Amino acid sequence: MFYSCSNLNVENLKLVNSQQINMSVEHCTHVKVARLSITALGTGPNTDGIHITRSKNVQVTDCAIRTGDDCMSIEDGTTCGPGHRISIGSLGDHGSEAHVTNVTVDTEMLHGTTNGFASRHGKVGGAMRRTLCSKT
């Protein structure tokens, strides 16, 4: 887990079979993640490849992510598959406010995913999504 980091570069790592979320970026600014290989069992619970929350200016490039859950999950504040999806959510869970803005998925490659690209929000609370796009 990377917590409250600034100007962070994470490159050329191989993560295999983490018990839960493989890599987490929380409360960070100006982060570059590149050339990661992340593999997790398809049967494991909550094995998100890269989880990003409450962070700004995060760039993820040239990563191969094969998990049993979301390849990437982006919450408040890449090559994928097999896995569930690239997920933005769950926003507004448990009555909370959540804001995710200016997300671009550019030339993504989704192979064997169950849902592709998803933007979700909770049943209660406020959620804002702005400028979300996918370019291929």
Catalytic residue ranges: 69, 84
Token pair recorded at residue 7: 């100007």
Query: Residue 97: how many CB atoms within 10 A of its CB?
Result: 11
What is the Cα–Cα distance from 126 to 95, expressed in whole angstroms?
Answer: 7
Helices (H) and strands (E) in the chain, counts: 0, 16
User: Is the CB of residue 125 less than 8 Å from the CB of residue 94?
Assistant: yes
